[in-house]
Amino acid sequence: MSTFTTSDGTEIFYRDWGSGQPVIFSHGWPLSADDWDSQMLFFRDHGYRVIAHDRRGHGRSAQPSGGHDMDHYADDLAALAEHLDVRDAIHVGHSAGGGEVTRYLGRHGQGRVEKAVLISAVTPSTVQSEANPDGLPRSAFDGLQAQLAASRTTFFRDLPAGPFYGFDRPGAERVDAVVDNWWRQAMMGAANAQYDCVNAFAHEDYTADLAKITVPVLVMHGLDDQIVPYAATAPRTAQLLHDGTLLSYPGYPHGMPTTQADTINADLLAFFRS
C-alpha cells in the first residue's frame, strides 16, 4: 500500500493512479478513498492523474487518538500534495471533504492548485444561527454522535439506507450494494475519529477560508440534500468565493457522486477542461 507519514507521526494511506494533470479527491464522513471509485476510474481514463487519501482515523490510515479536526485534516492534505510534489492540481471535496479542501486552500495557499470543486460541501457553515437560519440545529449533530456511540454498526447501516442517498424518498429504489459499500467503508475507520470528526465538520465556519480563495471553484449541490441543507450552504459558498460557479441539481441527494455519477462526472470534466 502507498503511505506517507505526517509531521506528527500519523501514517496516511493514498491511491495515485495514471498520469497527466493531478486531481486530488477528499472524501466525506465517515468514508474512505473508496468512495471516489467511480470518479477515479473515469478521470484516469480521460487522461488525468487521480489521487485520493484516507483521512486520518478513516479507512486504511492510522488511527491516532487525536488530531481529528479540520486544521489537522488540511495539514495532512498539504503534506500529501508536498509528498507527491503535485503542481497545478484540481482539488475535489465531498461533504466534510469540501470543508477539508476549503481549509487547505485558506490555510496553505493556492500555489499548487489550479481549480477546486466543492460537492455537497459543509461550507461556509452548517449549524443554525442568526446568520444561517437555514442551517441544522446543534442537536442534530449531537444526535449523530449519540447514535454512533450507541451502535455504530446499526447507525452506519441506517444512514445510507435512508437520507444519505435519498433511498427514503417515495418511489426511490434502494440499491443494497451501495448501502453495503458505505457500511464497509465506515466500519473500517476508528469510532473515536468518526465521533470527533462530527465536531470538525459541524461546528466549523469556513467564511474566512472561502474569502481567501481566488482560483476558480465549482460548487455542486443537490436540492434534495437531507444531510447538508442546500439553502444553508451552496448559495452562500458561491457568493463568498472570488470566482465561484454554482451548479444546483433538483432532486439529487447528498451522495450524488455515487447515485448520479454519470451526470456529476460529465459536469466535473467540463469544468476541468474549461
Q: Give 206-227 pLDDT, tens digit per residue.
A: 999 999 999 999 999 999 999 9
Active-site annotation holds for 7: no
List Cβ neighbours of 134 (8 Å cut-off, separation of 6 or more): 128, 229, 231, 232
**Residues forming a β-bridge with 218:** 117, 245
Nearest to 86 by CA among 7, 34, 150, 22: 22
Write down the pLDDT at residue 102: 98
pLDDT at 137 over 90: no
The span from the CA of 219 to the CA of 20, in Å, is 24
- Determine which one of 32, 95, 120, 125 is catalytic: 95
Write down the pLDDT at residue 133: 87
* Residues of the chain above pLDDT 90, percent: 92
Q: Over range 118-123, report the average pLDDT.
A: 98
Q: Are 193 and 56 in contact (CB under 8 A)?
A: yes
Distances (CA, A) of 202 to 35, 46, 84, 122: 21, 35, 30, 8
pLDDT at 201 over 90: no
pLDDT at 1 over 90: no
Write down the pLDDT at residue 136: 84
pLDDT at 243 over 90: yes
Write down the pLDDT at residue 131: 81
- Determine which one of 91, 94, 221, 254 is catalytic: 254
Active-site annotation holds for 254: yes
Q: How confident is the model at residue 140 (pLDDT cuts 50, 70, 90)?
A: confident
Q: What's the whole-model pTM score?
A: 0.97
Q: Over range 68-92, report the average pLDDT.
A: 98
For domain 2-273, say whether CATH 3.40.50.1820 is its number: yes
Q: Are 103 and 74 in contact (CB under 8 A)?
A: yes
The span from the CA of 154 to the CA of 262, in Å, is 30
Write down the pLDDT at residue 202: 81
